[in-house]
Amino acid sequence: MGRYIIRRLLQAIPLMLIISIILFALMQNMGDPVATLGGRKATRPSDRIRLTRQLGLDKPIYTQYVYWLIGNDWADIDLDGDGIAESKGHRQGVLRGDFGTSLVNRGKPATEVIWDRIPNTMLLMVASEAIIIFFAMLVGVYSALRQYTIMDNVITTLSFVGYSMPIFFIALLSMYLFSVKFKEWGLPSLPTVGMFDPQVGKTPKQVALHMILPVMSIAVISLAAYSRFIRSTMLEVMGQDYIRTARAKGLKGRYVVLVHALKNASLPIVTIVGLDLPLLLGGAIVTERIFAWPGMGRLFLDHVSRLDVPVVMGILMLIALAVIVFQIITDVTYAWLDPRIRYE
Amino acid sequence: MSTIEANVAGFAVDPTEAPPLSLGQMTWRRFLRHKMAVAGAIMIILLFLYSFGGSFLYTEDFANATDTANRLQPPSAEHLFGTDQIGRDILARTIYGGQISLIIGSAAVLLQTLVGVIIGAIAGYYGGLIDSLLMRFTEAMFNIPQLFLLIVMAKTFAGKIANVQLFGRTFSGSVVIIIVIIGLTSWMYLARIVRAEFLSLKENEFVLAAKATGTSNLQIIFRHILPNSAAPIIVSATLGIANAILSESYISFLGLGVEPPTATWGNMLDRAAGNFNLISTAPWYWITPGMFIVLTVLSINFVGDGLRDALDPRSRSV
């Protein structure tokens, strides 16, 4: 097992390099970041040339990539534009944890800009994932035990509808129902925008209240897919010999379902929890945009539109890394939970 | 081929019994038994009729005509679905937006299937170094969540393609861009399926026979192996249309999609993003296009599900 994990980790290195090259190449064509540096005024041509040189954007793309990757403190660069490379660079490179400085938040390291937002996104992700797994188990087991009844068919149809909805449509609908309509009907309505009411302050209660709608929107889509998945694994397990044995021993039906069947049926959930991460993160972009949640997705959108390459690259690399690590964790956990699975 | 089969069948089977069903007939019957899939197929036909037949009722100029005196009017006899934030008729825009959304969905899937099949086939058939290189690339693309990649690519290619004249209409260059970027960010899953199919199929005797008779590699890939892996490709491509339409709506909703005045179901509701006033006071503005997206995606998903059951080689029931 140890060797397997090490091999997977080693394989992840070239993978991350390929990803970084693909993304870096795409970044170069997004536009000229210097154009937006002047704020509302257009950047003066002389400033433009100076900034391009200082940011190292005048270098060929492979040099830029190398500087991004391993830094340029070993190389002499030309800062004053006289054609002579005279000063040492200051960048340390991604491999040493330096993603460069943000162009939008002047002078702030990109890692710091991203780091500020990660807890907010994590809060959404973890809460959604917990809700998804809990309700998916409930719904999945229920419909597996009542296969082909009216309720099962209704749940099946509903999960297809949930699965087919764009996340923003769910978000808009829930906003309209729980905020606009509930207020009209005199019911307690939910807040829709931001993370807390500035008049009340950032109390846990406020954050929890503001979380309800975004978490619900993210959860609905995955919930549909998960409950279908649990339904099918549950049906498969219910047909196994050991379930028949348990029943033959005279164990109560509920005990067999909850202890023998559910324990085994919930193993494969580990795989989809791990593999669903990209979808969840993508959903976060849209929900954070709609509900003005100060997370990483919104940071990404804001900084892409202003061509802040260091921050955008940082977010993308972080996400790619998270996806890869989660895949490895998924595989390892699955093998640990299910002794029938062996990796050589 | 069919006459031989018919002869053999007539020879072996009692003439009073019905002739055996062909693979196509069996698939068709299994598909028809899946009620939701049939309902989905009918719905898709209706949606196509609505979007493309609707152009006989309203002109595109009407769909794009602004009338600021009639901003955000609720549904009425004059504007059945109401008007949007600059007074355009939402009914006419769902018709023309539907055309673009359906075209984008179908064309993106064509591109996705083409890229996925070629990469998967080459990797699976040749194996070795080519396989590892292509699969590392596929895996790399797979590990960046699609929406992030779409946003970056939309930004990369924005405004790089000029408007296209086709069928006497002007299509915004951004339509082409969206098709290309959705196609280029969604082929990875299909490539993996095709590769797996090729890995197992290439060990079969008929491939060995084809090789022995000197058939070229290209011929073996496209004439002998590919038709045998058609079923998973068809299912994946069908579901791919639903995903492509969703992707279009996401990217348009975020304001990076097809540029106005060309309507798509996605960009028809993009003003609702972060605009609570619009969400609360003019629900028809975002519910109408949203419902069209859900209806289309849902129908396609049902059809895909039905096709998966019907094309499953393990299922032998008729």
Whether residue B167 is contained in a domain is answered as yes
What is residue A215's predicted lDDT score, i.e. its pLDDT?
A: 92
> Residue B30: pLDDT above 80?
yes
Amino acid at A146: R
B143, B155, B305 ranked by CB distance to A323: nearest: B143
> Residue B168: pLDDT above 70?
no
CATH code for position B270: 1.10.3720.10
Instruction: Flag if A23 and B279 touch (Cβ within 8 Å).
Output: no
Work out the pLDDT band at B81, boundaries 50, 70, 90. Answer: confident
What is residue B112's predicted lDDT score, i.e. its pLDDT?
A: 95
Q: Which residues of B touch A305 (CB under 8 A)?
A: 155
In this prediction, residues B147-170 reach a mean pLDDT of 80
Rounded distance, CA B155 to CA B139, Å? 23
* Domain count for chain B: 1
Model-level ipTM above the cut of 0.90: no
pLDDT tens digits, A9-42? 998 999 999 999 999 988 887 777 777 676 666 6
Instruction: Flag if B155 and A18 touch (Cβ within 8 Å).
Output: no
What is residue B155's predicted lDDT score, i.e. its pLDDT?
A: 86
In terms of CA atoms, which chain A residue is nearest residue B155? A30
pTM: 0.88
User: Which two three-digit tokens encode residue B270?
Assistant: 């993009």
Instruction: Render the burial of A117-139: b for 16+ CB within 10 Å, e for the rest.
Output: beebbebbbebbbebbbeebbeb
Beta carbons of B108 and B283 less than 8 angstroms apart: no
Mean of pLDDT over chain B: 85
Pairing status of strand A76-77 against strand B164-166: unpaired
Amino acid at A83: G
> Residue B1: pLDDT above 50?
no
> Residue B11: pLDDT above 60?
no
Q: Does B122 touch chain A (CB under 8 A)?
A: no
B178, B179, B180, B186: CA torsion to nearest 10: 100
Instruction: Flag if A316 and B152 touch (Cβ within 8 Å).
Output: yes
User: Which two three-digit tokens encode residue A179?
Assistant: 């905020």
In terms of CA atoms, which chain B residue is nearest residue A11? B136
pLDDT-flagged residues of chain A (< 50):
none
B136, B157, B274 ranked by CB distance to A292: nearest: B274
For residue B222, give Cα distances in angstroms to A208, B196, B219, B230. 56, 16, 5, 11
Q: Where in chain A is the domain with CATH 1.10.3720.10?
A: 114-174+216-337
Report the topology of domain A114-174+216-337.
MetI-like fold (1.10.3720)
Q: Does B274 touch chain A (CB under 8 A)?
A: yes
Whether residue B222 is contained in a domain is answered as yes
Residue A87, Cβ neighbours under 10 Å: how many? 10
Whether residue B250 is contained in a domain is answered as yes
Rounded distance, CA A12 to CA A328, Å? 9
Q: Does B253 touch chain A (CB under 8 A)?
A: yes
Higher-pLDDT residue of B267 and A279 is B267
Higher-pLDDT residue of A283 and B208 is B208
Rounded distance, CA A33 to CA A55, Å? 10
Cis peptide before B261 (omega within 30 of 0): yes
Beta carbons of B178 and B258 less than 8 angstroms apart: yes
Whether residue B316 is contained in a domain is answered as no
* Parent domain of B293: 36-56+82-310
Q: Count interface pairs A-B at CB distance under 8 A.
A: 127
What is residue B75's predicted lDDT score, i.e. its pLDDT?
A: 83
Beta carbons of B306 and A181 less than 8 angstroms apart: no
Q: Which residues of A touch B241 (CB under 8 A)?
A: none
Whether residue B30 is contained in a domain is answered as no
For chain A, what's the residue count?
344
Q: Which residues of B touch A320 (CB under 8 A)?
A: 143-144
pLDDT tens digits, B128-147? 999 999 999 998 988 888 89
Consecutive H or E run containing B166? strand B164-166
3-class DSSP string for chain A = CHHHHHHHHHHHHHHHHHHHHHHHHHHHCCCCHHHHCCCCCCCCHHHHHHHHHHCCCCCCHHHHHHHHHHCCCCCEECCCCCCCCCEECCCCCHHHCCCCECCCCCCCEHHHHHHHHHHHHHHHHHHHHHHHHHHHHHHHHHHHHCCCCHHHHHHHHHHHHHHHCCHHHHHHHHHHHHHHHHHHCCCCCCCCCCCCCCCCCCCHHHHHHHHHHHHHHHHHHHHHHHHHHHHHHHHHHHCCHHHHHHHHCCCCHHHHHHHHHHHHHCCCHHHHHHHCHHHHHHHHHHHHHHCCCCCHHHHHHHHHHCCCHHHHHHHHHHHHHHHHHHHHHHHHHHHHHCCCCCCC
Whether residue B303 is contained in a domain is answered as yes
Those residues with Cβ within 8 angstroms of residue B119's Cβ, 6 or more apart along the chain or in another chain: B134, B138, B187, B191, B194, B195
